[in-house]
Every structure is written in structure tokens, then in C-alpha cells.
Structure 1
Amino acid sequence: MTRRLTWTLLALTAVLLVLAVVPLAVLMTARERVAFRDDQRAATRVIAAAAEEHLSDHKPATGMRRELDAAARTGDCAAVYDTSARLVASTPCTAAQGEEAQELVRHVLAGHEPEPPENEGRLLAAEPAGEVHRPAGSVVLARSADPLDARLATIWGWSAGIGFVGLAASVLLSVRLARWVSRPLSALDATARKLGEGALDERAEVGGGPPEVRRLAATFNTMAARTEALVHGHRVMIADVSHQLRTPLAALRLRLDVLGTGVEGETAAELDAAQVEIARLSRLVDGLLAVSRAEQATPRPTAVRVDEVVTERVAAWSPVAEERGVRLTASEGPALIASLGSGHLEQVLDNLIANALDAVPDEGNVAVGHRLTAGSVRVWVRDDGPGMPGAAKEVAFHRFGNPAARGTGLGLAIVHRLVTVNGGTARLEDTPGGGLTVVLDLPLWAGKP
């Protein structure tokens, strides 16, 4: 963000400098050229006035020669022509003579104002000696353009220097302004990331940056404090509920065990059925508590070796699968590292494998595999059981979404919550040939394992 702000401000400053400095330099250049021309024409008129006295009034050429000598001392070249365009007098240098000078003289003697050309680094100027429409002759003055070029170079040099200084000052100001704005935002972003990773006690600095950023940091801290209080409140409630429900259920199970001692016949059958319902209620309470814990989870991402966890969980569930006559296998895959909360992938696979083993009949198959996809780790649990209707798939990740489930109906809700809280996705697909496949896309670990 600092770099983008800096470059944006530099671009705006550069545009403003170009729009301000370049037109000013062009204007000053034009004024210098006009001033140079006016000074040259004034010097030419002085010689033309002295030449008129000689050409028109037939006075001695002393005054004309004096002005020509003065022009020569300043570095100018001048030449005086009569009405026949014949050279009358000139300075020692011949830059005011030649074809271009003759062309200027003809235009002046014809009563026109010629366009002064530039001849080998010298600017030519021509003025009539006497009246414009009835001149007694013409004067051509050639002056070196080096002083003009030097002044123009100075103007553009100073303009470039001003632009460079302005740009350098803009760099310093832009960097400081960008850092002033971006540093508190970067700190706020880091704090938000830590809060999202489970560090509920993280708070943002409120002292730096623009007022809007400080207000944003203060609002964020208020939100974080309320979130921390809410999460801690839910955790305390879950712990209380866990204790308050499990204790009476355990006591009730114990009482039923005592009552069932030595009982036979229909009474024993009824007590066994009550024990089954209590066991089901216990599993339901455990499932609800597991869902609540998953919903309140704010995991700190860790590097999880997916291939190792898959192999471990398949090995752990293999005795259960053999007891039920189900073939449980793990497909070979690459060594991949996902970014997940500690123990979450184990819990997810335990729920999915348990559901799959409950769903498939004897001699059925359950396969667990993983592979690398575009930017994520894909894990799947595939079975060849009865599958799931489309309507049931749409609500399968909700609590009690599948009323036909053999268990509590909470396993997929726990899976969905644990996957999504870690930034992944979960979906259900039909297994080719029949059955259900649960597909998980988990985020890749970005750091070092």
C-alpha cells in the first residue's frame, strides 16, 4: 500500500510540475526571443538612421562608419546597401552579405517587411534607410545567436532544476504521507489476522495515522472486545452444559444398571431399551457439544501433514471396519501440508469415516484419499453405500439435516464447521456406481513446515 500511494502521489506531482514548469519555460523562451529580436532591430535602425543621412542627404559617411565600427566592436556584422541593392559600406565580417542578405534587401526596398532568417548561427535583420515606402537604401545586421541560445539553455536548466527539486521534495513528502497512512492500516491488518487465527486478546494501536484510521482502530478494538466476551461466554456455557447434562445421564445409567440386576423377562427388556435410549441421548448430547465447540472454534493455523493424518486415521479405524466386514483403504498421494487448526483434520476424518462405515453394508468399501488441486489440498472420503438423495444433500451440513441418519445427524455439521472455519470448503457428490463422496478442499500451508 505504501508503494502504491507513493507512486500515485509522485505521478500527480510530476503531472502538476510538467503542467506548471513547461508552459512557464516556453513563455520565458518566447519572451527572450522577442527581446533579442527587438534589440537587434533597434541596433539595425541606429545604423539605418546614420546611413540615411549619407544616402539621402549626401552628408559625409563619417557617422555611418562610426555606427558600423560600433556594431563591429560588439560582435555584429552589418552592411549598408543603396537603392540599387549595391553594397555601400560594411563591417569587416561578411555575414551580412550574400544571397540571403540580398534577398532581404530586395524585400525592404520593395516596401515589404521580410522574415529574418538564421544564417550559420547568426540571425539576420534588415531595416530601410529612410521612409519605408521610399527608402534611400537598406541596412542588414547579422548577430550571433549564441547569447540567445545560452539564455534559453539557462531558462530550461533552471526549469529542469526546479522540477527536479520539486519532484525530490514530493518523493520525501509522498513517502512520509504514505507511511503515515499505511503503517496503522498494516498494523490493523496484522491484528485482524491474529484475531482471526484465535488470538482474541489482540488489540490494534489507536495512536497513529489519520483520524479516520484511528477511529477505525478504536471501532475494531470495541468489536474485538465484544467478540472475546461472546466467545468466552459461549465456552463457559458449553462447559457448564457439558457438566450439567453428563452428570445426571451417568447417574441415570447407573441406576438402570442397578435396577436391571437380577431382573428377567419383559422388565429386563424394557430396562435394556431404556439403556439404549440413554446411550443414544448421551451420544446426542456429546454431538451437540461437539457442534457448539466447533462453531466457537477460532483456530490457530498449523502445518498439518495430510498424508500422515490420512494414513493414521485409516489405520485407527481399520479394526472397526474389519469387525463390520467393510474394506477401508487409503489411496496413495503426495506429501502435502495443509493450514488447519491442531487436531481438526483428525476430527473431520473420524466423523466422515464413522459415517461411511455406518452407511455401507457388509462387504462394502470405504476409500480415503488426497491430492493437490489449484491452490488447495483436496481430501475425499468415498463409499459405495446407498448414497443420499439430492434434497438431503442440500441440508446435510445443517444440524439434524438428514433425519434418516443412523447416528445423531450431527457428524456432517461438525465437519462443515471445522472445514469452513479453517478457510476450506466441503461438498457432497455421488460416487460413480452408487454411494456418497465427501470432498474437502483445504488451504495449503504457506510457510515453512
Structure 2
Amino acid sequence: MTRRIVLALLALTVVLVAAAAVPLGLSITQREHLAFRDKTQAAARVVAASAEEYLSDRAPADAMNADLADAQKAGDCVVVSDTNGRLIAATPCQAAQVPEARELVARTLAGREPEPPESEGRLLAAEPVGTFRQPDGVVVLARSATPLDTRIAVTWTWIGLVALAGIAASALVSVGIARWVNRPLATLDTAARKLGEGRLDERAAVNSGPPEVHRLAATFNAMAARTENLVHGHQAVIADVSHQLRTPLAAIRLRLDLLATAPPETAPELLASAQDELARLSRLVDGLLAVARAEQTVPKPVPVRVDEVVADRVAAWEPVAQERGVRITNHCRAGHPASLGSGHLEQVLDNLLANALDAVPENGTVTIDSTPGTETLRVRVVDDGPGMTPEARAVAFHRFGNPRARGSGLGLAIVHRLVTTNGGAVTLEETPGGGLTVVLDLPLGHERRAP
């Protein structure tokens, strides 16, 4: 990944530098050529002005000779010709007498605008003495292009150095950016590999990099913590289930061993005891399956008439309550639906009523009432049984949390899971005067929910 980031940024930098440097260099080169040609023609015009005084005005040649001397000192070669092309004056060098110079003289004498050509590293400039239409002579000046070439070479060298410096700086910055991005990702990859190898306590400590990588690391750590909790929770569940199943299985095996050697008159009693243990084992397995189904439930809330469901479940449990001498009363108000998964409230009430009827002694009472709120509907199941200690209430919603439970110890775990999955809450309180009160805060249905 580092290599790809560096190569991509370098390629982008090279393209941008080339797009900026090449046009700049070409523009500077063209401007230098124009400036050099203009200066050459200006120098030729200076000599042409003094030559005009000599050829047209018949003035002394002192001014022309002085200009020729200055041109020689500047490194220029100058030739002054009359209207017939004869040489009038010249500097000692012969660079202005090449064939290109003679062509310039002929064009200038013919009254045509000459184009300054280059000849062997020199630029030639021709200026008429007098007017273009009737010139009295021609001045041809040849100037070496070496200084021009040197300036252009220096300019391109500086442009190249700046471009290389920019590319080098871009390479350094791209390497830093790539490492800045890649280092936390490598740390995260190492943590993920260790987590996959079974080290559930491994976490990704990312202290650098972009914010997106920080969020990814936080998400990974949350996922790792969730995975660790799930694995440890499943291990705890397996340990609890193994412990809970061991007791009835051992009791059944003991009864069967005794039944094999017991006299005939005790066989029915041993067989009945073994059947009781089988029934207990069956209830335990059914409870575990109910908890597993509750934990895997993804509810689709629908409006549920709580008063109707409570009345239905009270009627279903009334025969059991009468058999045990317990009275069930229903004080739920009508017209307040809750938003729950289909059938979940029935399961919750069945578990709570079963626990209450097991705990309440003869002549006891179990009361169900409801109180609507702005966002929730509070349903209470109140009994006057022996109640639970604060320590027992603190762990009552765990699987097998209450070791003194008469049943499987899974009823309240199922209730808690079903209620919280639907967005509600369940708490245990002490009933005034003795007993246990289960408080359900259920989300209201859509037609009663406050805006």
C-alpha cells in the first residue's frame, strides 16, 4: 500500500511539474530570443544612424568609426556598404561578410524587410542607411548567440533543478503520508491476526493516522470486546448447563442402579423417583431452549392490547391458582396498547405467573396492574410470597442466577431477554409487607406514543 501511494503521488507531481515547468521554460526561451534580436537590431540602427551622416550628409566618418569601435569592443562584427553593395567600412572580423549577409544587403537595397537569420551561432541584423525605399547604404551587424544560449541553458537548468527539488519533496511527503496511513493499518492488521489466532484480549492501539482509521480501530476494538464477551458468555453458559444437567443425570443413573438390585416391593418407588428426575431434566432442557430462542429473537413490534392479553393469561392460569389456593386479580386498564413482538407478552406473563404461583403459599394473592406513561406502559406483577433478598434480585435475570429457585432458574432470564429485546425494561422490587414485585416498562404502541 505504501508503494502504491508513493507512486501515485509521484506520478501526479511529475505531471503537474511538467505541465508548469515546460511552458514556463518555452516562454522564457522565446522571450530571450526576442529580446536578443531586438537588441541586435537596435545596435545595427545605431551604426546606421552614424553611417547616414557620412553617406547622405557628407559628414566626417569620425562618428561612424567611433560606433564601429564600440561595436568591436562589444564583440559585434559590422559591415557598412553603399547603394552598390561596395564595402565602405567594417570591423576587423569578417563574420558579417558571409553569404547570408550578402543576401540581407540585397534584400535591404531592394526595399524589402529582412528577417534576421542565424549563421554559425551568430544572429545577423541588417538596417538601411536612410529610408527603406531609397537607402543610401546598408549596415549588417553580426552578434554572437553564445550569451543567449548560455542564459537559456542556465534558465532551463534552474527550472530542471526546481522541478527535481519539487519531485524530491513530493517523494518525501508521499512517503510520510503513506507511512502515516499504513502504520496504524498495519497495527490493526496485527491485532486482527492475533484475534483470529485466539487471543481474545487483543486490542488495536492506534495513536496516529487519519480519523477514519481511528474510527475503524474503535469499531474493531468494540467488535473484539463483543466477541470476547460472547465467547466467555458461551463458555459460562456451557459450564452452567453442564453443572445443572449433571445433577438430574446422576440422580437418574443412581435410581436405575438401585432399581437393578432393589427388591420388587421398592421398584415402583424408585421408578417414580427416576421419572421425577426425568421430568425435571425435561423442564431444564425446555428452559434452555426457551432462553436460546429468546436470545435469537429479532422482534417485529406490533400494537398489543395489554389488558386483553393479561385477561387471557389470568384465565388460563386460574385453574392452577385455584388448585393451589391462590387468588389472581387483574387491575389492568383498558385501551393502552404496547409495542411488542407477536406472542412475547404471553411468554413473559406465563413465566412470571408460573414463578409467582410456585412462590406464593396457600391463601396468597397475585395481582397484575398497569399504569400508562408518556412513553411506556408500566405493568406490575405483585405477589405476597417470601420474596427475594437483594443479593438474589441482583442476579435473578442471569441463567441459573437464583440457586434457591424451585424451577429451572431460567424463567426470569427469559423475561428479561424478551422485554429488553423489545426496547423495554424489567426490574425487581420488594413488595410492601413482603413478597416480590416485577415491574415491566413496555414501549407504548404507535397510536398512544407521545410525539
Aligned-pair distance for 1:263?
Answer: 8.8
Aligned-pair distance for 1:114?
Answer: 2.1
Structure 2 residues not aligned, in runs of 5+: 293-451
Task: Check the 8 A contact 2:127/2:140 in 1, yes or no.
Answer: yes
Aligned-pair distance for 1:262?
Answer: 7.2
Give yes or no for the alignment of 1:151 onto 2:151. Answer: yes
Aligned-pair distance for 1:76?
Answer: 0.5
Aligned-pair distance for 1:250?
Answer: 3.7
Name 1:210's counterpart in structure 2.
210
Aligned-pair distance for 1:172?
Answer: 1.9
Paired residue type of 1:157: T
Give yes or no for the alignment of 1:85 onto 2:85. Answer: yes
Name 1:12's counterpart in structure 2.
12
Aligned-pair distance for 1:95?
Answer: 0.5
Q: TM-score, normalised by structure 1?
A: 0.57
Structure 1 distance, partners of 2:112, 2:167, is: 49
Aligned-pair distance for 1:259?
Answer: 1.4
Aligned-pair distance for 1:246?
Answer: 3.8
1:94-113 matches, cutoff 5 A: 94-113=94-113
Task: Check the 8 A contact 2:71/2:77 in 1, yes or no.
Answer: yes
Task: Check the 8 A contact 2:187/2:206 in 1, yes or no.
Answer: no
CA deviations 1:10-34 (Å, max 9, x no partner) are 2212222222222212211111111
CA deviations 1:227-246 (Å, max 9, x no partner) are 21111111111222223224
Name 1:191's counterpart in structure 2.
191
SS of the residue aligned with 2:206? coil
SS of the residue aligned with 1:59? coil
Paired residue type of 1:24: L
Task: Check the 8 A contact 2:188/2:206 in 1, yes or no.
Answer: no
Aligned-pair distance for 1:59?
Answer: 2.2
Task: Check the 8 A contact 2:78/2:141 in 1, yes or no.
Answer: yes
CA deviations 1:39-96 (Å, max 9, x no partner) are 1110000011111122222222222222111111111001112222222211111100
Name 2:2's counterpart in structure 1.
2
Cα distance change on mapping 1:250 and 1:111 into 2, 3 Å: farther
Name 2:126's counterpart in structure 1.
126
CA deviations 1:142-162 (Å, max 9, x no partner) are 111110111011101111111
Structure 1 distance, partners of 2:250, 2:32, is: 104
1:248-287 matches, cutoff 5 A: 248-261=248-261
SS of the residue aligned with 1:93? coil
SS of the residue aligned with 2:81? strand
Structure 1 distance, partners of 2:49, 2:225, is: 95
Structure 2 distance, partners of 1:23, 1:248, is: 92
Name 2:72's counterpart in structure 1.
72
1:196-345 matches, cutoff 5 A: 196-261=196-261
Paired residue type of 1:54: Y
SS of the residue aligned with 1:136? strand
Q: How many residues are paired up?
A: 276
Aligned-pair distance for 1:181?
Answer: 1.3
Structure 2 distance, partners of 1:94, 1:263, is: 147
Aligned-pair distance for 1:184?
Answer: 0.7
Structure 2 distance, partners of 1:134, 1:220, is: 93
CA deviations 1:274-326 (Å, max 9, x no partner) are 9xxx9xx9xxx9xx9xxx9xxxxxxxxxxxxxxxxxxxxxxxxxxxxxxxxxx
Q: Which runs of structure 1 show a deviation greater than 6 angstroms over 4 or more consecutive aligned residues? A: none
Task: Check the 8 A contact 2:101/2:140 in 1, yes or no.
Answer: yes
> Is 211-220 or 41-50 further displaced after alignment?
211-220
Structure 2 distance, partners of 1:192, 1:112, is: 84
Higher Rg of the two aligned structures: 2
Cα distance change on mapping 1:252 and 1:96 into 2, 3 Å: same
Name 2:36's counterpart in structure 1.
36
Aligned residues with identical type, % of pairs? 63
Structure 2 distance, partners of 1:137, 1:255, is: 143
Structure 2 distance, partners of 1:87, 1:187, is: 87
Name 1:329's counterpart in structure 2.
none
Structure 1 distance, partners of 2:114, 2:247, is: 116
CA deviations 1:347-397 (Å, max 9, x no partner) are xxxxxxxxxxxxxxxxxxxxxxxxxxxxxxxxxxxxxxxxxxxxxxxxxxx
Aligned-pair distance for 1:166?
Answer: 1.5
Name 1:56's counterpart in structure 2.
56
> Is 124-133 or 42-51 further displaced after alignment?
124-133
Paired residue type of 1:124: L
Give yes or no for the alignment of 1:175 onto 2:175. Answer: yes
CA deviations 1:318-348 (Å, max 9, x no partner) are xxxxxxxxxxxxxxxxxxxxxxxxxxxxxxx
